[in-house]
């Protein structure tokens, strides 16, 4: 925490590999339905994979709502500046019912056209019975009509790889390239 913000940044371990960082409310806070919002500035760099999501692990099932996932180094997810550093300008919202591996119920890539690592933006989902509506800075991005009835916990993480590629020497390390989070809020419906 610094200046009232949570900061999670790319860093290598003793063997030189970038290591994943995860903060979650598993075992502490679960909620079924409501409005979930985060205000954050995303990190830049090849391999960075910041996310804000809801998840649960119920026996074999793994229901999941990815409110925001970004892959700065991935094809179609951002751009590379003159210094060779990848910047995110696109993120995705994804719903996984979790009944079996690969059971994706909805997916939407959203390109704002702005560098998501240059300033703070709000990422949110309104989760209702049979429907999830995703928002970017208060503007509706997509709606998925599927029942997600299990209480879920909140996750924030900065992982590396997947569609963002493998981080390398062009990936900025340290606090100046943080996944900065002003807040995460959850409201319940009455």
> Which tokens hold the place of 4?
């009232």
Chain-centroid distance, C-alpha 190: 27
The model's pLDDT over 66-109, given as tens digits with 9 standing for 90+, comes to 999 999 999 999 999 999 999 999 999 999 998 776 688 889 99
pTM, entire model? 0.95
Domains with residue ranges and CATH for the chain:
6-187 (2.60.120.200)
Nearest one of 64, 48, 56, 58 to 125, comparing CA atoms: 64
Q: Which two tokens stand for residue 68?
A: 């925001």
Predicted confidence (pLDDT) per residue in 28-39, tens digit: 999 999 999 999
Distance separating alpha carbons of residues 99 and 118, to the nearest angstrom:
38
Helix (H/G/I), strand (E/B), else coil: 177? helix
């Amino acid at each position: 925490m610094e200046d009232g913000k949570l900061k999670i940044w790319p860093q290598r371990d003793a063997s030189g590999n970038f290591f994943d960082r995860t903060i979650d409310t598993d075992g502490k806070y679960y909620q079924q339905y409501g409005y979930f919002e985060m205000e954050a500035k995303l990190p830049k760099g090849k391999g960075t994979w910041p996310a804000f999501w809801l998840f649960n692990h119920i026996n074999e099932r793994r229901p999941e709502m990815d409110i925001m996932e970004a892959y700065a180094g991935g094809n179609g997810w951002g751009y590379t500046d003159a210094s060779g550093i990848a910047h995110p300008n696109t993120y995705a919202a994804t719903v996984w019912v979790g009944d079996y591996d690969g059971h994706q119920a909805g997916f939407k890539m959203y390109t704002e056209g702005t560098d998501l690592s240059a300033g703070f933006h709000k990422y949110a989902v309104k989760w209702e019975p049979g429907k999830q509506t995703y928002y970017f800075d208060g503007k509706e991005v997509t709606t998925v009509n599927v029942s997600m009835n299990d209480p879920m916990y909140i996750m924030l993480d900065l992982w590396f790889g997947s569609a963002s590629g493998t981080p390398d020497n062009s990936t900025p390390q340290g606090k100046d390239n943080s996944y900065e989070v002003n807040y995460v809020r959850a409201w319940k419906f009455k």
